[in-house]
Amino acid sequence: QSALTQPRSVSGSPGQSVTISCTGTSSDVGTYNYVSWYQQYPGKAPKLMIYDVSKRPSGVPDRFSGSKSDNTASLTISGLQAEDEADYYCCSYAGSSVVFGGGTKLTVL
Amino acid sequence: EVQLLESGGGLVQPGESLRLSCAASGFTFRSSAMGWVRQAPGEGLEWISSISVGGDGTYYADSVKGRFTISRDNSKNILYLQMNSLRAEDTAAYYCAKQVRGWQFDYWGQGTLVTVSS
C-alpha cells in the first residue's frame, strides 16, 4: 500500500481558512467513505478530528470540516487559531488494511 | 473515560524480540476492534496491524507480516503485539488505538518507544 499524498506544509494567518488535500487511489479514498483526519502535536498522540469523510467527533470545533471528491479528500480549517498549529494526517480504509498520508505541518503565521 | 496504556517498549538489538502490551479501560474492550500504529522518529504515521473483536481476524502491513503477531485477551482487556526479528527500521513509537467502523481510530494510547540498535 502506498501512502496517501498530502502537502508537506501549509500556512495561514489567524482567522483565515486553510485546506489540506489528501490524494489516494481508487483502492482507498476513491472507493471507501472511511476517510479520517488526525491532529498531532509534537510528542503527543494523534487525535481524531474527522471520521467518515466529514463527521466530527464530540468536542471537535465546527471550524474543522472534511470532504471528498473522487480520489481526493480534504480537511478545511476555518477561522484559524494559534492552537491549530500542528501536524495533520489523513487516513483511509483500503480493504483489510489502512493507509495514512505522509502528514502536513500547519503553521499559523 | 477511555484509557489506553501501552508498555513493553525499550532498547533491543537487531534480530531480537519484544512484546508490547496495551491495557484498555473505560469502554467495552471485547466489543471493539483494535489496532497498532507506529511512528518512526521525525516521520509520519504507519498502520501496522489490526485485530477483530474476537481475535479471529488479524491483519498486517506488508512491512511487518510474518514477523509481528497481534493478539488480545478479552478477559484482561489487554492488546498485545509480539515483535520478532526486529530491524533498525522498526525503531518507532508504537501506539495502540481503538477502532470504529471503517478501521478508523477514535482513541489512542500515549505510545511506547521501541529502539532497535546494536
Query: A48 to chain B: nearest residue by CA?
Result: B106
- pLDDT lower than 70: segments of chain A: 1
Instruction: Count other Cβ atoms within 10 Å, centred on residue B84.
Output: 14
List the single best residue of A35, A98, A100, A105 to mutate versus B (max B Cβ within 10 A).
Answer: A98
For residues B48 and B38, is the Cβ–Cβ distance under 8 A? Answer: yes
DSSP string over A13-60: -TT--EEEEEE--TTTTTT-S-EEEEEE-TTS--EEEEBTTTB--TTS
Interchain CB contact of B95 with A (< 8 Å): yes
Closest-CA distance of chain A to residue B44, Å: 5
Q: Which of B1, B37, B6 is nearest to B23 (CA)?
A: B6
Residue A31 pLDDT: 95
Q: Which residues of B touch A102 (CB under 8 A)?
A: 44
Q: How far apart are CA A82 and CA B55, in angstroms?
A: 42
B103·A34 Cβ contact <8 A? yes
pLDDT tens per residue, range A55-74: 999 999 999 999 999 999 99
What is the block-wise mean pLDDT of chain B (118 residues), using blocks of 10 residues?
Answer: 97 98 97 98 97 96 97 98 98 98 96 97
Residue A1 pLDDT: 67
Q: Which of A7, A32, A9 is nearest to A99 (CA)?
A: A32
B102·A48 Cβ contact <8 A? no
Residue B32 pLDDT: 97
Residue B1 pLDDT: 95
Classified as helix, coil or strand, B2 is coil
For residues A21 and A6, is the Cβ–Cβ distance under 8 A? Answer: yes
Residue A2 pLDDT: 80
Interchain CB contact of B27 with A (< 8 Å): no
Classified as helix, coil or strand, B57 is coil
Q: How far apart are CA B118 and CA B116, in angstroms?
A: 7
For residues B106 and B3, is the Cβ–Cβ distance under 8 A? Answer: no
**Residues A100, A105, A106, B3, CA torsion sign:** positive
- Partnered with residue B93 across adjacent β-strands are B39, B113
Q: How far apart are CA A93 and CA A82, in angstroms?
A: 31
Q: How far apart are CA B49 and CA B33, in angstroms?
A: 11
